Amino acid sequence: MTVIPPLEAPRAPQAARPHDALARLLADDLRAVEAVIAARMRSEAAPRIPQLAGHLIGAGGKRLRPMLVLASARMLGYGGPHHVHLAAVVEFIHSATLLHDDVVDESRQRRGRPTANLLWDNTSSVLVGDFLFARAFQLMVEAGSLRVLDVLATAAATIAEGEVLQLVAARDLSATEETYLRVARGKTAALFAAATEAGAVIAGAEAGAARALRDYGDALGVAFQIADDLLDLEGGAEIGKDRGDDLREGKMTLPVIRALACASPEERAFWARVVGRGEVGTGDVERAVAIMRGHGAIESARREAEGWAGRARAALEGLPAHPIRDVLRDLAAYVVARRA
Amino acid sequence: MTVIPPLEAPRAPQAARPHDALARLLADDLRAVEAVIAARMRSEAAPRIPQLAGHLIGAGGKRLRPMLVLASARMLGYGGPHHVHLAAVVEFIHSATLLHDDVVDESRQRRGRPTANLLWDNTSSVLVGDFLFARAFQLMVEAGSLRVLDVLATAAATIAEGEVLQLVAARDLSATEETYLRVARGKTAALFAAATEAGAVIAGAEAGAARALRDYGDALGVAFQIADDLLDLEGGAEIGKDRGDDLREGKMTLPVIRALACASPEERAFWARVVGRGEVGTGDVERAVAIMRGHGAIESARREAEGWAGRARAALEGLPAHPIRDVLRDLAAYVVARRA
C-alpha cells in the first residue's frame, strides 16, 4: 500500500495567539526583562514603592510594549544587552501612566485586581508613578544612546499631551474624529511607536528600517486603542475591568462620535445626558450599544481598526524576512480581534 | 592738606538679599531661561498645558534652582549655551513636583495664588506635571551630555523616593531624625545638588570641582528645607501659603521630632491628637509652637539649619575665587534667615 504524502508537510500547530508566539520566540529576553524590572523597582528608602508597583506590574499584563522593543531589535540582528533595558523602560513608562490614569479615571479594577489607588491611595499612586517614570529615564541613560533617549522622551511628552487632550475633550459632544485620533496616538500609539523605533535604533538600523518599524508601532497602537474602546463596550468579565467605564467617564470614542454624527433628536438627548452630563443609569450602557449598532457605528469602528492593522502590516513589507516579522504581521490582526 | 585714603576702597552697597545679587550677576542667562521655559511649555495639542503650567511658573517663585545651574556653570567659565537649557530643566522638574505635591497635600495656596488643583482639578495637575517632567527630559537630551542626564534622572528618582517616604512617615510619631534627613534630601536637596552638579559637569569641571559644587547644593538644600519647615510654623502672610499646613498634614519635621523626644505625657497626648490623628482645632498651631519653644526645639532646628549652611560654605572653599562664589557663600546664610 502506497502512502500518498500530503500536499504540504504538516505545519506545526499555529499558536492560538501571535502574542504567545512572540513570547516564545523572545522567551530568554523576556526573562531578562522581568529580572531588570524586579531589580529596578526596588527602593531601599521607600519599600512602599516596590509593593505598590509590584501589585500592578506583577499582575501580569501582556508585556506587549516590551516585546515590541525586543522584537524590533532581534529581527534586525541585535546581539544585546541594551534592548532588555529599553524593554524594561517602556514597561516602566507604561506602568507609570497606568497608575496615573487610574487616579485620573478613579478606576476600581485593572488586570482583574483592585487598582493601586483603591488599595493604597491616590497620592501613593501619583508618587510611585513618578518614581517609575524617573527610573525609566535612569535605565535609558544606562543604554547610552542619545537618539534612543530622544525617541523615548518625546514619546513621554506626547503621552502626557494625549492624556490632557482626552481630559479636555471628555463630555464634549462636538469632539471630532481628528481629536479622537490625536488622543489615541498620544495615549497609546506614541509608546508603541517609540518601542519599535527604540528597538530598531539600538540595533543600529538604517533610517528606512527604523522608520518602517516606527510606522508599524504607530499603526498597531491606533488599531489597539480602537479595539480597546470596543472591548469596553462589548467585553465581558475577561477584560479585567468594568464594562462601560469609558461611557461613564465621558470619553469621546470613535463609535460614540460616529453614532452622534447620525443621531436622531431623541438619541442626541440620550448622549447629552449619558456622555455629556455623566448621568448613567441602569440599562444605559446596553442602550448606548444598541444605538451605536443601529447606526453601524461599532462595525465601522472595527473596520477602522482593521484598516490601521492593515497599515501596520504594510509597514513591515520592506523589512528583511524573519520569523519575528511574520509574527508581528499576525499580531496586527490579533490586536483587533482580541477579546481581552 | 593731605587726604588720607581710607584703609579700604568703599565697597559697593551689599545687596539686601544674595538671591537678588545672584539674579543680577546672571541677568542675561535668566532672561534666556525664561524664554526657553515659555517656549517649551507650549503644547499645540493641548492648550490647557501652558495655561495650567503658566499659572504656576508665571507666579514667579525665586528661580533658585535654575540660578544654581547657571551659577555653577558660569563660575567655572562655561560659555554656553546648554546651561540655559539645563536651568529650564530643573525649573520644569521642580514645577512638576510642585503640581503633584499640591495634589498630594490638597494644598489651596502656592506663591500667594490659589493652587492649580483648586483652579482646574487634581487630574489636570497630575497630567500637566507628567508633561513638564517629560519636557524636562527632552530638554536635557538636547544638551547632549549622558553624564548630566544621569545626574538629573537619578535626582528625579530620589525626589520621588523622598516624597513616598514622607507620605509613609506622616503621622508616625516614631519617625526619627534619620528619616527626616532622608526625606529632606529627597524632596529638596536632591534637586539642589543635581542643579549645581549639572552646571559643573556641563562646564567640563574636573571631578573635584563637580563634587564640591554637588556637596554645596546638597547642604544648601537640607538647610533650605529645615528653614522651610520653620517658616511654616513661624511665617506670616508673606510665605504665600497657609501657616501650620505641615502640622495639619502630619509631616514629621525636625522641631516636631525633637519636641516629641522630650514630651511630657500630656504633650505626647497633644502630639498624638494633632499630628498623629490630624485633629487640629483652633489654637492648636499656636500651642504646638509654644510646646516646641518650651523645649528649645525650634531654636535647635534653626541651629541645625545653620550647621548645614556652614557645610555648604565649607564646600565652596576649594573652588577658585569668583564673584559668583562669594554670592553663593552669602546665599547659604540667606536660605536659613529668609522670611519667605
Cβ-based contacts of B184 with chain A (< 8 Å): none
**Dihedral sign, Cα of residue B314, residue B320, residue B325, residue B330:** positive
* Cα separation, A221 vs A308, whole angstroms: 9
Q: Average pLDDT, stretch A54-81?
A: 92
Give the residue from A95, A164, A179 with the most B CB atoms within 10 Å of its CB, the best one to mutate: A164
Q: Is B182 on the interface with A (CB under 8 A)?
A: yes
Subunit contact B103:A122, Cβ cutoff 8 A:
yes
Q: Do B340 and B235 touch, CB atoms closer than 8 A?
A: yes
pLDDT of the residue at B332 = 96
Residue partners of B104: CB distance under 8 A and separation at least 6: A123, A126, A127, B163, B167
Residue B62's pLDDT band (cuts 50, 70, 90): confident
Subunit contact B126:A127, Cβ cutoff 8 A:
no
pLDDT of the residue at A240 = 61
Q: Which has the closest alpha carbon to A123: B107, B198, B90? A: B107
Q: Is A181 on the interface with B (CB under 8 A)?
A: no
Q: Is A141 on the interface with B (CB under 8 A)?
A: yes
Q: Do B45 and A186 touch, CB atoms closer than 8 A?
A: yes
* A262 burial level (CB within 10 Å; 0-12, 13-18, 19+): exposed
Between B293 and B117, residue with greater pLDDT = B293
pLDDT of the residue at A7 = 44
Q: Average pLDDT, stretch A156-168?
A: 94
What part of A 120-139 touches B (C-beta under 8 Å)? 122-124, 126-131, 133-135, 137-138
Q: Is B161 on the interface with A (CB under 8 A)?
A: yes
pLDDT of the residue at A26 = 97
Residue B172 has pLDDT above 70, yes or no: yes
Subunit contact A138:B161, Cβ cutoff 8 A:
no
pLDDT of the residue at A106 = 77
Residue A236's pLDDT band (cuts 50, 70, 90): low
Query: Given the C-alpha cell 490647557, which residue does it identify?
Result: B48
pLDDT of the residue at B95 = 95
Residue B5's pLDDT band (cuts 50, 70, 90): very low
Cβ-based contacts of B167 with chain A (< 8 Å): 48, 123-124, 127
**pLDDT tens digits, residue range A131-140?**
999 999 999 9
Q: Which amino acid is at B319?
A: L
Subunit contact B134:A157, Cβ cutoff 8 A:
yes
Grid coordinates given for A164: 490632557
Residue B24 has pLDDT above 50, yes or no: yes
Subunit contact B134:A159, Cβ cutoff 8 A:
yes
* Cα separation, B275 vs B263, whole angstroms: 14
Count chain A–chain B contacts defined by CB atoms under 8 A: 141
Subunit contact B167:A127, Cβ cutoff 8 A:
yes
Average pLDDT, chain A: 91
Q: Is A159 on the interface with B (CB under 8 A)?
A: yes
pLDDT of the residue at A74 = 98
Please state, for a pLDDT cut of 90, what percent of chain B lies above it. Answer: 78
Q: How far is B98 from chain A (nearest CA, A)?
A: 12
Residue partners of A36: CB distance under 8 A and separation at least 6: A84, A85, A87, A88, A139
* Cα separation, B232 vs B245, whole angstroms: 7
Which of these ranges, A145-159, B41-55, B273-287, has the smallest mean pLDDT?
Answer: B41-55
pLDDT of the residue at B1 = 43
Q: Average pLDDT, stretch B154-177?
A: 95
Which of these ranges, A107-116, A181-190, B45-54, B64-73, has the smallest mean pLDDT?
Answer: A107-116
Subunit contact B123:A182, Cβ cutoff 8 A:
no
The DSSP letter of residue B238 is G
Q: Mind spelling out the 3-state secondary structure of chain B? A: CCCCCCCCCCCCCCCCCHHHHHHHHCHHHHHHHHHHHHHHCCCCCCCHHHHHHHHHHCCCCCCHHHHHHHHHHHHCCCCCCHHHHHHHHHHHHHHHHHHHHHHHHCCCEECCEECHHHHCCHHHHHHHHHHHHHHHHHHHHHHCCHHHHHHHHHHHHHHHHHHHHHHHHCCCCCCCHHHHHHHHHHHHHHHHHHHHHHHHHHCCCCHHHHHHHHHHHHHHHHHHHHHHHHHHHHCCHHHCCCCCHHHHCCCCCHHHHHHHHCCCHHHHHHHHHHHHCCCCCCCHHHHHHHHHHHCCHHHHHHHHHHHHHHHHHHHHCCCCCCHHHHHHHHHHHHHHHCCC
Average pLDDT, chain B: 91
pLDDT of the residue at B237 = 60
Residue A8's pLDDT band (cuts 50, 70, 90): very low
Cβ-based contacts of A165 with chain B (< 8 Å): 45-46
* A161 burial level (CB within 10 Å; 0-12, 13-18, 19+): buried
Q: Do B168 and B39 touch, CB atoms closer than 8 A?
A: no
pLDDT of the residue at B44 = 85
Subunit contact A167:B123, Cβ cutoff 8 A:
yes
Cβ-based contacts of A45 with chain B (< 8 Å): 161-162, 164-165, 182, 186
Subunit contact A127:B43, Cβ cutoff 8 A:
no
Query: Given the C-alpha cell 444605538, which residue does it identify?
Result: A291
Residue B253 has pLDDT above 80, yes or no: yes
Q: Which has the closest alpha carbon to A71: A288, A329, A317? A: A329
Cβ-based contacts of B43 with chain A (< 8 Å): 161, 164
Which of these ranges, A34-38, A99-103, A108-112, B10-14, has the smallest mean pLDDT?
Answer: B10-14
pLDDT of the residue at A2 = 46
* Cα separation, B213 vs B205, whole angstroms: 10
Cα separation values, A223 from A216, A308, B79, Å: 11, 5, 48
Which helix (H) or strand (E) segment holds residue A113: the answer is: strand A113-114
Between B102 and A179, residue with greater pLDDT = A179
Grid coordinates given for B166: 514622607
Subunit contact A163:B100, Cβ cutoff 8 A:
no
Q: State whether residue B8 is helix, strand or coil.
A: coil
* Cα separation, A209 vs A75, whole angstroms: 11
Residue B2's pLDDT band (cuts 50, 70, 90): very low
pLDDT of the residue at B331 = 96
**pLDDT tens digits, residue range B25-43?**
999 999 999 999 999 999 8
Pairing of strands B113-114, B109-110: antiparallel
* B178 burial level (CB within 10 Å; 0-12, 13-18, 19+): exposed
Residue B275 has pLDDT above 90, yes or no: yes
Q: Is A104 on the interface with B (CB under 8 A)?
A: yes
Cβ-based contacts of A144 with chain B (< 8 Å): 146
Query: Given the C-alpha cell 457605528, which residue does it identify?
Result: A297
pLDDT of the residue at B9 = 39
Q: Do A89 and A76 touch, CB atoms closer than 8 A?
A: no
Subunit contact A103:B122, Cβ cutoff 8 A:
yes
* Peptide bond before residue A5 is cis, with ω within 30 degrees of 0: no
* Cα separation, B173 vs B260, whole angstroms: 8
Give the residue from B130, B149, B171 with the most A CB atoms within 10 Å of its CB, the best one to mutate: B130
Residue A107 has pLDDT above 80, yes or no: no
**What is the model's pTM?**
0.90
pLDDT of the residue at B16 = 65
Of residues B45, B144, B156, nearest to A134 (C-beta): B156
Residue B74 has pLDDT above 80, yes or no: yes
- Rank A113-117, A123-127, A208-212 by mean pLDDT and report only the highest: A208-212
pLDDT of the residue at A38 = 94
Q: Average pLDDT, stretch A107-130?
A: 85
Q: How far is A87 from chain B (nearest CA, A)?
A: 18
**pLDDT tens digits, residue range A142-157?**
999 999 999 999 999 9
Q: Do A102 and A69 touch, CB atoms closer than 8 A?
A: no
Q: How far is A327 from chain B (nearest CA, A)?
A: 32
**What backbone phi and psi angles, to 5 degrees, belong to A114?**
-60, 145
Max Cα distance, chain B (Å): 78
Complex prediction ipTM: 0.89
Residue A3's pLDDT band (cuts 50, 70, 90): very low
The distance of Cα A334 from the centroid of its chain, to the nearest Å, equals: 13
* Cα separation, B163 vs B153, whole angstroms: 16
Between B235 and B335, residue with greater pLDDT = B335
Q: Do A309 and A220 touch, CB atoms closer than 8 A?
A: yes
* Cα separation, B69 vs B84, whole angstroms: 8
pLDDT of the residue at A37 = 95
Residue B15 has pLDDT above 50, yes or no: no
Of residues B49, B130, B164, nearest to A127 (C-beta): B164
**pLDDT tens digits, residue range A256-300?**
999 999 999 999 999 999 999 999 999 999 999 999 999 999 999
